[in-house]
């Protein structure tokens, strides 16, 4: 298949993070093995999701990884003008869930299997397909641990997230957290005889906003926004308008500059909540409590303009500068395992996660030209 048709095929697999990606993995593994690639899988604990790592060329360390996640975000509640899992081309753009984030990159890379199969590779060329990137980069760690376990260390990784084919050498890290506010139920006509967990959660959200405001004083102008951010995104709690809530949950996140300490940030927030919010509610109900659970975290990608990954991407694209982004990718995890990483892929992050997500056909063509140069480099 050509890149466009293969991308359409990949979009046709509903790999929303809450479900399985095995049908897509099966399809891709069959393609890769038919072209002479050597494959390894690493499953999640349920066995319904898997990472796929494939190698062409010589055995041993080194080589270039072409990396992308297979999962996509939900389409629930979004107003699509076409079926999100039946890709369509309109006005020079390919529409479908995952078109830019990031099945376009995977489709282009896999469409080059015939060229890879016949290339005289002098160093390995690897494919890395992961699961659950969209829920905190939760899947790729298993793939990287597997490589560490077998003593295989690629020389560099190219992460094909949408950058409009620009060279991105740094991104923020991020975390997803859940804070439970526990109070005491009582009739709402006597609020001081209970502890209203919804009100407690509201004060916690205001505390997060105050922390975020304070973080503006510690900027890095290379990023937009230039500082670490903190946001509450989901709240659940309460049972009736006339009952003080016993429990409320606040889901929140922080996206931190890659050279800042996320543990210190989280500890500061928890300490402030314990000192500034909890005492008022404990005075009304001794069982009042606030607990925070770190559900997922991924590291930032620290800028290293001299890394072999950045140098290769600049050489092959002709980029005269290295850019930074605020969103997170798996590149920081590759870097944390000692594998230099760079981000360069088709499409714009502005279309990712949106209704009518698309990638311009010109972007797929530019990606194909870039990856053909990568193959040539691995054959030199």
Active-site pick, 5, 14, 26, 71: 71
Q: Are residues 90 and 185 in the same domain?
A: no
**pLDDT confidence of residue 1:** 82
Q: Are residues 292 and 347 in the same domain?
A: no
Q: Are residues 7 and 102 in the same domain?
A: yes
Burial letters 289-328, b for 16+ CB under 10 A, else e: bbebeeeebbbbbbbbeebebbbbbbebbebeebbbbebb
Which CATH number does the domain housing residue 177 bear?
Answer: 3.30.70.360
What range defines the domain where residue 81 resides?
3-171+300-378
Q: Are residues 343 and 194 in the same domain?
A: no
Q: Are residues 65 and 206 in the same domain?
A: no
Active-site pick, 5, 83, 101, 133: 133
Q: Are residues 69 and 131 in the same domain?
A: yes
Q: Is 306 a catalytic residue?
A: no
pLDDT tens track for 51-65: 999 999 999 999 999
Domain end marker among 247, 270, 298: 298
Q: Are residues 58 and 195 in the same domain?
A: no
Q: Are residues 98 and 182 in the same domain?
A: no
How many domains are there within the chain? Answer: 2
Q: Are residues 151 and 190 in the same domain?
A: no
Q: Are residues 288 and 145 in the same domain?
A: no
Read off the DSSP letter of residue 40.
E
pLDDT tens track for 145-157: 999 999 999 999 9
β-pairing verdict for 173-182 and 289-298: antiparallel
Q: Are residues 291 and 356 in the same domain?
A: no
Write out residues in the chain with pLDDT < 50, as ranges.
none
Residue pair 326/226 in contact (Cβ under 8 Å)? The answer is: no
**pLDDT confidence of residue 33:** 98
pTM of the model: 0.92
Domain end marker among 262, 278, 298: 298
Q: Is 71 a catalytic residue?
A: yes
pLDDT tens track for 212-249: 999 999 999 999 999 999 999 999 999 999 999 999 99
Q: Where are the alpha helices (DSSP H) in 2-50?
A: 3-11, 22-34
User: How many other CB atoms are there within 10 angstroms of residue 190's CB atom?
Assistant: 9
Q: Are residues 109 and 185 in the same domain?
A: no
Domain end marker among 274, 298, 322: 298
């Amino acid at each position: 298949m050509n890149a466009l048709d293969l991308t359409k095929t990949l979009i046709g697999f509903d790999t929303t993070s809450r479900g399985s990606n095995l049908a897509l993995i099966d399809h891709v593994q069959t393609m890769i093995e038919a072209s002479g690639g050597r494959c390894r899988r690493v499953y999640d604990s349920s066995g319904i999701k898997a990472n796929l790592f494939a190698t062409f060329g010589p055995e041993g360390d080194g080589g270039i990884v072409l990396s992308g996640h297979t999962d996509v975000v939900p389409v629930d509640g979004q107003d699509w003008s076409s079926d999100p899992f039946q890709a369509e081309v309109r006005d020079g753009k390919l529409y479908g869930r995952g078109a830019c984030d990031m099945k376009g990159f995977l489709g282009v890379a896999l469409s080059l299997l015939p060229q890879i199969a016949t290339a005289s590779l002098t160093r390995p060329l690897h494919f890395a397909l992961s699961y659950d990137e969209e829920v905190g980069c939760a899947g790729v760690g298993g793939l990287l641990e597997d490589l560490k376990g077998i003593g295989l260390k690629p020389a560099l990784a190219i992460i094909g997230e949408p950058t409009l084919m620009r060279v991105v050498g740094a991104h923020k890290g991020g975390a997803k957290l859940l804070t439970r506010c526990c109070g005491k139920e009582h009739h709402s006509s006597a609020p001081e005889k209970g502890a209203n967990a919804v009100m407690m959660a509201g004060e916690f959200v205001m505390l997060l906003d105050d922390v975020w405001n304070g973080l503006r004083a510690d900027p890095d102008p290379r990023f937009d926004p230039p500082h670490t951010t903190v946001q509450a995104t989901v709240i659940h709690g309460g049972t009736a308008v006339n009952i003080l809530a016993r429990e409320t949950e606040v889901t929140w996140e922080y996206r931190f500059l890659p050279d800042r300490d996320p543990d210190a940030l989280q500890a500061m927030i928890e300490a402030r909540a314990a000192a500034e919010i909890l005492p008022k509610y404990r005075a009304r109900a001794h069982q009042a409590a606030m607990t925070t659970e770190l559900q997922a975290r991924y590291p930032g990608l620290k800028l290293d303009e001299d890394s072999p990954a950045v140098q290769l991407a600049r050489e092959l694209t002709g980029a005269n500068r290295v850019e930074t982004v605020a969103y997170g990718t798996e590149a920081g995890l590759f870097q944390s395992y000692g594998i230099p990483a760079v981000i360069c892929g088709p499409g714009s992050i502005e279309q990712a996660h949106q209704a009518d997500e698309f990638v311009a056909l010109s972007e797929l063509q530019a990606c194909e030209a870039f990856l053909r140069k990568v193959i040539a480099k691995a054959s030199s």
